[in-house]
Amino acid sequence: MFPFGVDYYPEHWPEERWPRDARLMHEARINVVRLAEFAWSRLEPEEGRFDFDWLDRAIDVLAGHGIRVILGTPTASMPPWLASKHPDVFMTLQDGKRRTYGNRRNYCPTSETYRLYSRRITQAMAEHYADNPHVIGWQTDNELGGQTGGCYCEACREDFGRWLQERYGSLDKLNEQWGAVFWSHVYNTWSEIPAPLESGSSPNPGLALDWKRFASDAYVDFQQEQIDILRELSPQKFITHNLMGFRFDQLNYFDLAEPLDFVGYDIYVRMQWTIENEVDPSLAALGHDTMRGLKRQNHWVIEQQSGSGGWEIVSVAPRPGELRLWAYQSIAHGADGIIFFRWRTARWGTEQYWHGVLDHHGEPGRRYSEIQQMGHEIHVLGDLIQGSEVRAEVAILHHYDTRWAFQIQQNNPSFSYAEHVKQIYRGFYRQNVPVDVVHPATELSGFKIVVAPALYVLPGEVADNLQQYVQGGGTLLITARSGVKDEANAVVEQPLPGLLAPIAGVAVEEYDSLPSWKSNGLAFEAPGLEGETLESAIWADVLTPTTAEVVARYTREYYAGRPAITLNHAGAGRVLYAGTLAGSELFTRLARWLLELASIEPLLETPHGVEATARWKNGRRLLFLLNHNESSATVTLDHDYRNLLREGAVVSGNVSLAPYEVMILQ
């Protein structure tokens, strides 16, 4: 059964209401709910006194309608008794101020005290629900790492010292790799090493990157403690966590996902923070492809938008059809479960305006009908979809060390690693070419094209991996600021792109960091592109080819006429080096060129705003067409299909998609 559900907070509503909620859910074909991830003060009202009765009763009511349950460990928001007894559990922000009670996600992940309480509630829940047949799985905590910049307290600093000791073994090695001699920062003891507090000003980049790794590990360890307990005491149930896609950049999500059975994803396509912006469906698509890439396996959506978002500001209302469209987009990108956040809009609390399937008043309305429609559709089609896989011939490498190193040193004030990746991703997305977003050390031979955007921190094993991929016949695109740093965040000794120079067949002779009001022209001369001109921005590597051919040259500044983009043949493969970091048309154009070079066919050509994706099962393909436009759009099909959302009606030739319409074609 395809998991289709809602996040539900029975503790927000009188118990007399629960049966009606369960009945309405059932009538929308909801078969799973997530519960309890913010219910600590109801589950452990006082230290050591656990109360599961109410939750048992809620689960029974839901089970009476065939609805199964995922339970969240409630550690993302601590109860007041814990906070007042142990003020040291609060996180300290980078400015040195300790957080205080009143919100959530405010604990220090290394705090021994907090970890003790977190293990205790996890253990009590695991024991109590291990044999409950209606509880099918666990969610650890909630959006680990979110809403803050991490903890900088003294306990964390001490832990950082231990972490460094493990990583470097000796202070001599640490001092050498960080180049601590610069400004005389040579450390004699581990305890001298500071946290990169604001009061310390711009830190040593080596220290700063290790701190980010350490801070990520702290959450990974925190989660692991819960997972160990759940695996031991409740081995029959799956464990997941709700992550935040490509958007969130504080934790190494590859590490966080590793011990999970599958990745959960919270996707809000239209947030209240971006009320002025148009929805950009490519960002949701990138989020899904990133989540699917963490374990190279299908994921679930644990929170799918069910209404306007809102804390202080209320976001634009989802247009009729959008919620369903977005949920199908999740499925089209590999989601094997959809859970809407949330069932009913809360009357209280910070998220009063984060709208659920039902409004505050609790009566079914437009959004309920839309989700009910989808529930019925999924009831029919779910088995066909579930377990089918997205197949991508293009991979984009996502590297957290690099992302963090750019947070530490932006290089150019207009540069954002995330924006750079998005721009490259869109180049493929717009042409309906599926993409996997994967770890740089992953096996790449299955991909026809690999893109390594600005791979700034380049571990030797990643360089080897890329070299092997190219030698074996792969097509690799790398961009400026690749291979600049070693793993200690020191600049490498060889000419750029460092360890990638041999396969790129090029050396960066010098570079120019461009102000936001300047760009440079590119004149193309490679076959297939000759005569074209485009603008590039942010960064200009001036290239000296060793074995590479010139693809494009700059047209302005003192380096006019010098190579900007090159193509090198290495082994059975080739490397395209783009010595620039932006250009709104540039990466779309380069993607199209690479697709031709690597003989990759788009799934289908579609008009602007209509997305095509596919999932495969048993050699059969499901083609998803998603019209993100508020107007109808016409798509020309490549042959006859059956439209599974219209009882298998045959469609062919030019088909019109209504605003926000979805087609699943077989």
Q: Which residues are catalytic?
A: 143, 303
Three-class secondary structure of residue 68 per DSSP? strand
Considering the complex, state which of residue 155 and residue 418 has its C-beta at the smaller distance from Zn ion. 155
Tell me which residue has tokens 């003192």. Answer: 558
Q: What is the distance of C-alpha 116 from the center of its chain?
A: 29
Q: What is the distance of C-alpha 82 from the center of its chain?
A: 32
The residue from 35, 76, 156, 595 that contacts Zn ion (CB under 5 A) is: 156
Is there binding between residue 303 and ligand GLA (CB under 6 A)?
A: yes
Binding at 151: pick from Zn ion, ligand GLA, none (beta carbon under 5-8 Å per type): Zn ion
Considering the complex, state which of residue 242 and residue 536 has its C-beta at the smaller distance from ligand GLA. 242
Considering the complex, state which of residue 264 and residue 334 has its C-beta at the smaller distance from ligand GLA. 264
Considering the complex, state which of residue 144 and residue 153 has its C-beta at the smaller distance from Zn ion. 153
Nearest one of 99, 113, 109, 163 to 140, comparing CA atoms: 109
The residue from 151, 239, 514, 537 that contacts Zn ion (CB under 5 A) is: 151
The residue from 33, 67, 93, 153 that contacts Zn ion (CB under 5 A) is: 153
Q: How far is the CB of 246 from Zn ion (least distance, A)?
A: 27
Cα distance between residue 241 and residue 285, in whole Å: 19
Site mask for ligand GLA (CB under 6 A), range 335-354, x = bound: ------x---------x--x
CB 535 within 8 A of CB 519: yes
Q: How far is the CB of 89 from Zn ion (least distance, A)?
A: 9
Binding at 142: pick from ligand GLA, Zn ion, none (beta carbon under 5-8 Å per type): ligand GLA
Considering the complex, state which of residue 36 and residue 438 has its C-beta at the smaller distance from ligand GLA. 36
Binding at 633: pick from Zn ion, ligand GLA, none (beta carbon under 5-8 Å per type): none
Is there binding between residue 108 and Zn ion (CB under 5 A)?
A: yes
Q: How far is the CB of 350 from ligand GLA (least distance, A)?
A: 8
Nearest one of 18, 286, 233 to 121, comparing CA atoms: 233
Binding at 61: pick from Zn ion, ligand GLA, none (beta carbon under 5-8 Å per type): none
Q: In whole angstroms, how far apart are CA 198 and each of 131, 161, 219, 367?
A: 49, 19, 22, 46
Cα distance between residue 566 and residue 469, in whole Å: 18
CB 266 within 8 A of CB 342: no
CB 591 within 8 A of CB 585: no
Cα distance between residue 108 and residue 633, in whole Å: 50
Binding at 389: pick from ligand GLA, Zn ion, none (beta carbon under 5-8 Å per type): none
Residue 57: half-sphere exposure toward Cβ, Cα within 13 Å: 12
Mention every residue, 6+ apart, whose C-beta is less than 8 A from residue 443.
none
Report phi then psi at 331, rounded to 5. -65, -40
Q: How far is the CB of 207 from Zn ion (least distance, A)?
A: 17
Binding at 108: pick from ligand GLA, Zn ion, none (beta carbon under 5-8 Å per type): Zn ion
Two tokens at 67? 């609805």
**Sheet strands side by side (includes 299-305):** 238-240, 135-139, 68-72, 32-35, 4-7, 335-341, 299-305, 264-267, 242-243
The residue from 21, 44, 141, 143 that contacts ligand GLA (CB under 6 A) is: 143
Binding at 661: pick from ligand GLA, Zn ion, none (beta carbon under 5-8 Å per type): none
Q: What is the distance of C-alpha 606 from the center of its chain?
A: 26
Is there binding between residue 218 and Zn ion (CB under 5 A)?
A: no
Handedness of CA 484, 488, 492, 497 (dihedral sign): negative
Site mask for ligand GLA (CB under 6 A), range 252-281, x = bound: --------------x---------------
Binding site for Zn ion (CB under 5 A): 108, 151, 153, 155-156
Binding site for ligand GLA (CB under 6 A): 142-143, 242, 266, 303, 341, 351, 354
